[in-house]
Structure 1
C-alpha cells in the first residue's frame, strides 16, 4: 500500500470514505451482454416507492382513528424520518465494509450467523407479504366469506358466478398472465415502468377518496373528525399501542435498497433517491389516512378497503367503489414482483451463499423462481386464515430487517464510524421495534385466548 493510501486509512475513524462511483464488478458482464448502462434516478425512485407502498397503506386510516388526526399524521411523518435514518446508517456502513448487499453488511458485522438470521427474516417477511397480497387480490376479484356472510368480488358482480370466476382459477390466471412475466426479469430496473404504474394506482385511490370527501364536505354530510385520542379506560389507552407495528413497519423497504443501488448509473444518488421516495410515500400515506378517516370517521375498518362495500352517498357511488377496489387490486399485482425480487435474492443467498450471483445462472434462477411462486400460490389458496399468523411474523421479521439489524450494525461499529447521534437513534429504533413486536404479539395472544374462552362459554 502506498504512503498516500496509508494516510487515508489513518484518518479519524469518523471520516467516511467517498461514495462509490461504480457498480459491483459482477454486474459488468450482465451490463455488457444486455446493453444496460445503469438505472435512472426516476426508475430507482419508483422501484423503491413501490417496495414501500404495499398492503399496509390500507391500515393507516384505522391507525389515525385510534391515535386521533393530529398525532396520527405526526407519527406517519416520524416513521418516514426514522426509516430514512436507518437506511442512511445502512448505506454508510455498506461503504466502509465494501459490501454490495444487505446480507454482506450484516456478515461484516456479525459473521455467518448474523447473515443467515437476516436472510431468514427477509424470507419470512416477504413470503408473508406476498401471500397476503394474493389473498387480498383473490378477495377483491372473487369475493370472500366472513362469519358466514359472502362478500362478492368485482368479477362476480360484473359477470355473475362462473367456473372461471372462482378464487383458485382467478389467482391461477393472475399468476400465469401477470406475475410470471414480471418476476422473470433478472434486473430490478426492468420493473421501473410497472412500479411507476403501481404508484399511479395508489394515487388513483387517494384521488377518488379525496373527491368523495370534498363532495360530502360541500353537502355537509361529514362530521368533525376527532383530533386527539379518546380515552374511555385502561383498555383504550393500551389499544393506542397496537398502532405502533403498523406505523413502524409501513416504510419497510431495506431489503431492496442494495439491489436498486447496485444498478444505478451513479450510486452517489442513492441517498437522494431514498429521501425522494420516502417523501413521496409519506405524502401518499398522509393523504390516504386523512381522507380515509374523514370519509368514514369512527366506522373506519382495520382494512379501509372493507368500507368500500356499499353506497358512498355520492353520485356514481357504486362505480367509485369498484374503481377503488380494482385500482388497489392492480396496485398490489404490480407491487408483487418488486417484493418477489428481493425474496428470490435472499433465498438464493441463504441456500447458495458461495455460488455465482443468481442472475448469471439461468437454471438456478428459474428453479428458485418456480419454487417460490408455487409455495406462495399454494399458501394463498389453502391457507385463507393467515392474518393472525402473519401478524406474528410481521411483528418480528419486518421490524428485524427494517430497524433492529441497521441499529445493531451501528452499535457494533466494527469500523469505528458511528457517531453519537447514530447510536442514540439506534437505541431508539431497537426500543420501538422491540416494543411494537411485544405489543403486537401480546395483543394477538390476548385476542386468541379470549376468543377461545368465549367459544368455550357458548
Structure 2
C-alpha cells in the first residue's frame, strides 16, 4: 500500500516536516522497502529519488562536500611528503584524487539504477542484509577513527594553547590542566556530549562552513610561515615547540627531497586515502541537490575533490619546505607555542575539530541503531547510552594510542580503501544489470580491476605498517 501511494505521487513526509534535519530524521525511520523506487528502470533512464525534492544549490553542494572531504588528515600531509619526496607525493596525491572521483562515479551510477540515497542501503540492495551490515560496520569503524583523530588533535594542541595563553614556554610544567588526557575527557563531557545528545543534526552538519574557513586560515598561515621561519635544525629533539631552534642553513636537514623512501613511507598512501574519504556523505548530498542528475552531482564531486587536491598540495608543500625532514607527524606540532599567529591557528583548528566530532558521531549511532535495533522507535535512553559508549571508546583509543600517525595509518589502510575502492566497485558490479552492462563489458571490467586494486592496496599497506611496527625503526631514525 505504501509503495502504491509513492507510485501515485501521494507519499508525503507530513506538512509539519519542513526542516531539512527533520526530513532526514523521517527518512532514517522509513521502512527498509521505502528506500527503493516503486518502479523498475531499464538501465537507460536514470532513476530519480522520490524521498523529497532537493533544494540545495550547486554551489552549496560543493561547499558541503568539500567540508565532508577535508578533516584532520590535512595535518599529516607534510609528514607524508617528507617520507616520499615532493614529486612522488604529488603523483600519489593526484592518483588518489582521480581514483576518489572515479569511485564516486561508480556510486552515482549504482544509485542511479535503483534510486537509493544511502551507502548502507546500496549494500542492502547489492548483497541483502549482509551487505548492509558490512557497509554499516566499515562506516562505523572509519568514523570512530575520524573521531579519534579529531580528539587526538585536541590532546596534542590544547595543552600548547593553554600554555601559550598563560605565557609559558612549554606544557611540561606538570599541572593537570596541561595534561592532554585530562583535557580530552573535559572537552568530551562539556562540549561534545551535549551536542551529540541533540536528536536532530543530520548528515549535513557542516553547513555553517566554519570548519572549512578554519582550514583555509590554517593554509594561509602555513604559507606565510614558510617565508618568515628560517631553516631549522633541532639537534634531533622531537619536541619542536619547546626547544629553541639551532639554525644551520648549510646543513642537509634543510634540503628538500624530490624522490625518497623512508621506513615511514608505509603511512603515506593510507594518510592520503584517509584525507579523501567522503563517500558516506555523497548520496545524502546528491539527494538534497536541486535538479539532481548524475552528471550534475559528478561535477559537484569533481570540483570539490579538485579544490581539496589544491589545498592539500599547498599545505603539504609549504609545511614540508618550512621544516623539511624535521616536520612532525601532526604539522602544528612543528610550530612554536609562543607565536601569536600560530596560537590563533591552533585555536581555530581546535574549535573546528571539536564541533565536527558530534557530527561524525551521528552516522555511527544511526548505523548501530539500524543494525541492532532496526524496528525500534526512537528512545532517549538508547540515544544517550550509545553516545556515551562511543565517546568512552574513542577517549580510550586516544589516551592509549601513542601516535596520531597510527590512527591515520590504520584507518587509512583498512576502512578508507574499503569505502573508496572495494565497496563502490562491488556494488557497481552487483547492482548495474547485466542487460545494460554484461560482466565482460569495459565498465564492469574496470570496476572489477578497481576493486582488486583496493584489496591489493589494503593488504600491502597493512603489511608495511605492521612490518614498520615490528622493526621499531619508526621514530628513532628521524627524530620523530
CA distance in 1, matches of 2:85, 2:349: 25
> Structure 1 residue 16: deviation in Å?
4.2
TM-score by length of 1: 0.76
SS at structure 1 position matched to 2:339: helix
1:179 aligned to 2:192? yes
Q: What residue number does 1:141 align with?
A: 158
CA distance in 2, matches of 1:186, 1:42: 24
1:392 aligned to 2:391? no
Q: What residue number does 1:148 align with?
A: none
CA distance in 1, matches of 2:431, 2:47: 18
> Structure 1 residue 421: deviation in Å?
5.0
Equivalent position to 1:191, from 205, 213, 217: 205
The verdict on how the C-alpha distance between 1:19 and 1:215 changes in structure 2, with shifts beyond 3 A counting, is farther
Q: What residue number does 1:32 align with?
A: none
> Structure 1 residue 371: deviation in Å?
3.3
CA distance in 2, matches of 1:261, 1:177: 34
Pairing 1:227-246 to 2, within 5 Å after superposition: 227=258, 229-230=259-260, 236=261, 240=265, 242-246=267-271
Q: What residue number does 1:308 align with?
A: 335
Q: What residue number does 2:122 align with?
A: 105
CA displacement 1:10-53 (0-9 Å, x = unmatched): 85x4x242543x4x26xx9xxxxxxxx84454444333222221
Matched-pair contact (CA < 8 Å) for 2:145–2:411? yes
1:401 aligned to 2:431? no
CA displacement 1:42-65 (0-9 Å, x = unmatched): 444333222221221122122223
Q: What residue number does 1:146 align with?
A: none
Q: What residue number does 1:346 align with?
A: 367
CA displacement 1:251-310 (0-9 Å, x = unmatched): 111122233334445433533332232122112111111211221223233332332247
> Structure 1 residue 197: deviation in Å?
0.9
Mean CA deviation greater in 106-115 or 159-168: 159-168
> Structure 1 residue 140: deviation in Å?
0.9
The verdict on how the C-alpha distance between 1:289 and 1:19 changes in structure 2, with shifts beyond 3 A counting, is farther
1:156 aligned to 2:156? no
SS at structure 1 position matched to 2:414: helix
The verdict on how the C-alpha distance between 1:244 and 1:168 changes in structure 2, with shifts beyond 3 A counting, is closer
CA distance in 1, matches of 2:464, 2:311: 28
> Structure 1 residue 395: deviation in Å?
1.5
Q: What residue number does 2:113 align with?
A: 96
Q: What residue number does 1:319 align with?
A: 340
Q: Is there any run of 5+ residues in structure 2 with no aligned partner, and where?
A: 8-38, 169-173, 232-247
CA distance in 2, matches of 1:421, 1:326: 50
1:334 aligned to 2:351? no
Mean CA deviation greater in 206-215 or 427-436: 427-436
Q: What residue number does 2:274 align with?
A: 249
CA displacement 1:371-407 (0-9 Å, x = unmatched): 3234333443455567547743441222112211001
Mean CA deviation greater in 301-310 or 126-135: 301-310
> Structure 1 residue 111: deviation in Å?
1.7
The verdict on how the C-alpha distance between 1:45 and 1:333 changes in structure 2, with shifts beyond 3 A counting, is farther
Q: What residue number does 2:215 align with?
A: 202
CA distance in 2, matches of 1:369, 1:308: 34
Q: What residue number does 1:260 align with?
A: 285
1:132 aligned to 2:149? yes
Q: What residue number does 2:465 align with?
A: 444
Tell me which protein shows more helix as a share of its residues. 1
Q: What residue number does 2:67 align with?
A: 50
SS at structure 1 position matched to 2:410: helix
TM-score by length of 2: 0.73
Q: What residue number does 1:147 align with?
A: none
Matched-pair contact (CA < 8 Å) for 1:47–1:338? no
Aligned length, in residue pairs: 408
SS at structure 1 position matched to 2:276: coil
CA distance in 1, matches of 2:57, 2:190: 27
1:411 aligned to 2:429? yes
The verdict on how the C-alpha distance between 1:297 and 1:378 changes in structure 2, with shifts beyond 3 A counting, is closer
CA distance in 1, matches of 2:186, 2:199: 19
CA distance in 1, matches of 2:404, 2:256: 32
> Structure 1 residue 413: deviation in Å?
4.3
The verdict on how the C-alpha distance between 1:130 and 1:62 changes in structure 2, with shifts beyond 3 A counting, is same
CA RMSD of aligned residues (A): 3.7
Matched-pair contact (CA < 8 Å) for 1:403–1:430? yes
SS at structure 2 position matched to 1:95: helix
CA distance in 2, matches of 1:107, 1:445: 33
Q: Is there any run of 5+ residues in structure 1 with no aligned partner, and where?
A: 3-7, 29-36, 143-152, 231-235, 311-316
CA distance in 2, matches of 1:449, 1:238: 11
> Structure 1 residue 141: deviation in Å?
0.9
Equivalent position to 2:103, from 86, 90, 93: 86
